[in-house]
Chains A and B, each alone.
Chain A
Amino acid sequence: MNKENNNYRDDRFAIANKEALIGIGLVLFNFIWWISFAYGLGGNDVSTYTYILGLPAWFFYSCVLSVIMMPLLVWIAVKLFFVDVALDDEEFEEE
């Protein structure tokens, strides 16, 4: 029984919970970025479109730029906030 209670207090889980929240934060940011440019810029009349690298500006920001930006943000998040933990737990198994 003691063992199970220990598992709940496992420090690694506090880290994992934080990292999961970062994931949710990133996806919300990604979604807001995506939808604002897509429908904010793309919702206008086609004749008023501006173009970047030949692509409509809404598409460039919403799709191309987010595909470039998200890996960078993930990289930053991983480097700054993600912690190395052992996935094995021999110490628990031996109790």
Chain B
Amino acid sequence: MNFEATIWLFGTVLLIFIIGLTASRTKITNNSFMEDYYLGGRSLGGFVLAMTMTATYGSASSFIGGPGVAYNQGLGWVLLAVSQVATGYFTLMVLGKKFAIVTKKNKAITMVDFLKERYQSKWVVLLSSFSIVVFLFSAMAAQWIGGGRLIESLTGLSYRSALFIFVITVLIYVTVGGFRAVTLTDSIQGSIMFVGTLILLIAIIISGGGVSNIITELQAENPNLITPFGAEGTLTPSYVSSFWVLVGVGVVALPQIAVRAMSYKSSKSFHRALIIGTIVVGVIMLCMHLIGVFSRVIIPGVEVGDRVMPLVALEVLPPWLAGVVLAAPLAAIMSTVDSLLLLVSSTIVKDIYINYINPDATRKKIQLISMGITGLLGVIVFLMAVNPPDLIIWLNLFAIGGLESAFLWSIVMGLYWKKGNKYGAIASMIVGISSYILFQSFYPQPLGMHAVVTSIILSLIAYVTFSLWKKDPALRSEGSLRV
């Protein structure tokens, strides 16, 4: 155990949280508790918006799992990872001002709210709430495990104690702070990630004797490491390209991202977020994965990919700096978990409880239930994460793909195609989710691509066919849907 690094790690994380909580306390708006707790009162500025998108999206899989895979696969995996630069601008541009205007107009607070207003269908609401709870649970478990692993490899505590420390911190924070506290800490975390990644990459290049030297050594070990095809030559162009859908353009459909695209203050903040977000996501993804590849020269022979990041940081940086830099991935994981937790709880409280069980609940009661559910969910995920599966990155990618298959067309077409209706939405969700699960189980790489691509195509066909085939009477007058 590295005592100095540990102290700095927890000190940094603690500091971030104190700032977040203090700041969220001083800003009281006149909005409803729901808008405040779940959306931060729709008041995010450009910098905060860009950072919260980055921190939410850049999660355990990109900070712990990603560099680990890059360590084994070489530059081919970095090539795959930079497809994520598209999420920096594409998500916000496509949902864009239209999404913000429409959701504001309809007072929508969650993605399900938007779908409910757009399609006016109980089944759309129930199906989407169900998909969110199921898939986000696996995404959350993946993050929980990543957090536990990181603390474990840095402090030398047992996995369970590490996980326990992690979970308690997250729960206290989310339950008390809500969305605004989360987005505020996201911007600090995002900044640390950005700077920390650069520092670590530079330290590694220096310690490896320069880029040319590192590349030469990699080539000497296995020439495939510096090709786009992966260490074994298994990364085919079609497989790698399909990640443009999975972690690039498809990210539009992730509820935790979509909810942020409705929470900004003005066009100006939106424009700033586009530029800042593209820079930050691009630099972090490129550098973070390059770190993984270059680490192969610095610390050869690491067997568990997930431990590469913490180990190399301890190797090339002074302990205090390693602690601060590693606070970045830990913070990323925490903020992802925070947002997912809030999202699942808002789905249960707002989309199911208030819609269908008790529409007249008082503010006080909603507040109690929101915090109670958030806490309860945390405990359940903790129990799931106590006995973790080995590969968190695949668990996370599975969840992302599932959400994209379920939601992509209902959101995008719902926003831009007037004729899209509830039959189309229901059909696309059912086809998307079931085909995705079937492909994942029996034929994981149809046509050499990630299963998400085929499922998205099938769900588009379902959406268009059913929308055109079964007319929704409510749609004829362009009425009811206030889009």
Q: Which residues of A contact B (CB under 8 A)?
A: 1, 3-5, 7-8, 10, 12-13, 15-17, 19-20, 22-24, 26-27, 30-31, 34-35, 38-39, 42-43, 46, 49, 51, 53-56, 58-59, 62-64, 66-68, 70-71, 74-75, 78, 82-89, 92
Q: Do most interface residues of chain A lie in helix, strand or loop, or is the interface mixed?
A: helix
A38 touches B479 (CB 8 A): no
Bound: A8/B481 CA distance, A: 10
Please give, as numbers and ranges, the residues of chain B lying within 8 Å of A74 by CB-CB distance. Answer: 88-89, 274-275, 278
Is there contact, CB below 8 Å, between A34 and B105? no
Taking a contact as CB atoms under 8 Å apart, the answer to whether B85 and A87 are in contact is no
Q: Which residues of B contact A43 (CB under 8 A)?
A: 228
Q: Report Cα–Cα, A13/B240, bound state, in Å.
A: 35
Other A-B contacts than A7-B105, A38-B237, 5 sampled, CB-CB below 8 A, are A4-B482, A23-B96, A59-B226, A84-B266, A92-B105
Q: How far is the CB of A50 from chain B (nearest CB, A)?
A: 12
Is B418 close to A, CB under 8 A?
yes
**Cα distance A77–B86 in the bound complex, in angstroms:** 15
Q: How distant is the Cα of A74 from the Cα of B265 in the complex, in angstroms? A: 20
- B69-97: CB near A (< 8 Å → 1, else 0) gives 00000010011001101101110111011
List 27 contacting pairs A-B, 8 Å CB cutoff, sorted by A.
A1-B479, A4-B477, A4-B478, A12-B97, A19-B97, A20-B96, A20-B416, A26-B90, A27-B86, A31-B241, A38-B237, A46-B219, A46-B224, A46-B227, A51-B212, A54-B210, A54-B212, A59-B79, A63-B79, A66-B282, A70-B85, A71-B275, A74-B274, A74-B278, A78-B275, A87-B264, A89-B101
Known: A8-B418, A43-B228, A85-B97. Contact between A62 and B212, CB under 8 A? no
Q: How far is the CA of A50 from the CA of B452 in the complex (A)?
A: 35
Checking A64, A85, A92 against B267 with a beta-carbon cut-off of 8 angstroms, the contacting residue is A85
Instruction: Identify the closest chain A residue to B265 (Cβ).
Output: A87
- Do A20 and B227 touch (CB < 8 A)? no
Cβ of A30 and Cβ of B85 under 8 Å apart? yes
A31 touches B244 (CB 8 A): yes
Within the assembled complex, what's the spacing in Å between the Cα atoms of A39 and B264?
39
Q: Which of A19, A20, A62, A87 contacts B104 (CB 8 A)?
A: A87
- Kindly report which residue of chain A lies nearest to residue B86, judged by CB atoms: A27
Minimal Cβ-Cβ distance residue in A for B42: A87
* Contact between B212 and A67, CB atoms less than 8 A apart: no
How far is A86 from B104 in the complex, measured between Cα atoms in Å?
Answer: 11
Instruction: Out of B237, B266, B282, name the residue touching A70 (CB < 8 Å).
Output: B282
Q: Give CA–CA (A55, B226) in the complex, Å.
A: 9
Q: Cβ of B34: which chain A residues have Cβ within 8 Å of it?
A: none
Residues of A within 8 A of B105 (CB): 7, 89, 92
Which one of A27, A42, A67, A92 contacts B82 once the chains associate, using CB atoms below 8 Å? A67
Give the distance in Å from the alpha carbon of A92 to the alpha carbon of B212 in the complex.
61
Please count the residue pairs between chain A and chain B whose beta carbons lie under 8 angstroms apart in the complex: 166
Give Cα A54 to B214, complex, Å.
9
Known: A17-B416, A42-B227. A78 touches B274 (CB 8 A): yes
Name the contact of A56 in the complex, choosing from B226, B241, B264, B274 (C-beta under 8 A). B226
Known interface pairs A1-B479, A20-B416, A46-B219; A58-B228 also in contact (CB < 8 Å): yes
Contact between B96 and A19, CB atoms less than 8 A apart: yes
CB-defined contacts of B215 to chain A, threshold 8 Å: 51, 54-56
Residues in A whose Cβ lies below 8 Å from that of B416: 17, 20
What is the size, in residues, of chain B's interface with A at 8 Å between Cβ atoms?
A: 62
B190 lies within 8 A of chain A by Cβ: no
Known: A17-B98, A51-B212, A58-B228. A46 touches B223 (CB 8 A): yes
Q: Is the CB of B93 within 8 A of A19?
A: yes
9 smallest beta-carbon distances between A and B, as pairs: A23-B93, A54-B211, A54-B212, A16-B98, A67-B282, A42-B228, A46-B223, A16-B97, A71-B278
Taking chain B's interface residues, is the majority helix, strand, or loop, or is none over half, making it mixed? Answer: helix
- Nearest chain B CB to A45 CB, angstrom units: 9
B contacts, CB < 8 Å to A: 75, 78-79, 82-83, 85-86, 88-90, 92-94, 96-98, 100-101, 104-105, 210-215, 219, 223-224, 226-229, 237, 240-241, 244, 248-249, 264-268, 271, 274-275, 278-279, 282-283, 285-286, 416, 418, 477-483
> In the bound complex, do residue B483 and residue A7 qualify as a contact, i.e. CB atoms below 8 Å apart?
yes
State A49–B105 Cα separation when bound (angstroms): 55
By a CB distance below 8 angstroms, the chain B residues around A55 are 211, 215
Closest to A43 in B: B228
Q: Which residues of A contact B267 (CB under 8 A)?
A: 82-87
Given A8-B478, A35-B241, A70-B278, answer yes or no on A27-B90 (Cβ-Cβ < 8 Å): yes
CB nearest to B241 among chain A residues: A35
Would you give the shortest CB distance from A93 to chain B, in whole angstroms?
8
Task: State A67–B211 Cα separation when bound (angstroms).
Answer: 18
Look across to chain B and name the residue whose beta carbon is closest to the beta carbon of A79: B271
Contact yes or no, A38 B79, CB < 8 A: yes
Q: Are A4 and B249 neighbours in the complex by a CB distance under 8 Å?
A: no
CA distance A12 to B105 in the complex (A): 13
Structural contact, B104 and A88, CB atoms closer than 8 A? yes
Specify which chain B residues have a CB less than 8 angstroms from the CB of A75 in the assembled complex. 275
Q: Which residues of B contact A17 (CB under 8 A)?
A: 98, 416
The answer to whether B93 and A26 touch across the interface, beta carbons within 8 angstroms, is yes
Closest B residue to A47 using CB positions: B223
Contact of B282 with A34 in the complex, beta carbons under 8 Å: no
**Distance to closest chain B CB from A22 (angstroms):** 6
Residues B479 and A15 in contact, CB atoms below 8 Å apart: no
